[in-house]
Amino acid sequence: MSIDSDRDQVLELTQKLLVAATSGDWDTYVELCDPSLTAFEPEAAGNLVDGLDFHHFYFKLTSDSSSPIQSTIVAPHIRIMGDVAVIAYVRLTQKLRDGTPITAAMEETRVWQRHGVSWKHVHFHRAPTGRLLPFLKVISLTPDILEQINTTRIVDDFSLSRGCKDSDTNPRDTQI
Q: What is the pLDDT of residue 144?
A: 55
Q: Say what the pTM is.
A: 0.72
Look at residue 111 in the predicted model and tell me its pLDDT. Answer: 98
Q: What's the pLDDT tens digit per position in 94-108?
A: 998 888 999 999 999
Q: How confident is the model at residue 147 (pLDDT cuts 50, 70, 90)?
A: low
**Could you tell me which CATH number the domain at 3-130 has?**
3.10.450.50
* Higher per-residue confidence, 174 vs 22: 22
SS3 76: strand
**CA-CA-CA-CA torsion for 158, 161, 162, 166, nearest 10 degrees?**
70
* pLDDT on residue 150: 41
With cut-offs at 50, 70 and 90, classify the pLDDT of residue 135.
very low
Whether residue 172 has pLDDT greater than 50? no
Do residues 55 and 49 lie in contact, with contact meaning Cβ atoms separated by under 8 Å? yes
pLDDT at 143: 54
Contact 78, 7 (CB under 8 A): yes
Mean pLDDT computed over every residue of the chain = 80
CB-CB contact of 87 with 11 (8 Å): yes
Helices and strands, number each (H, E), in the chain = 6, 6
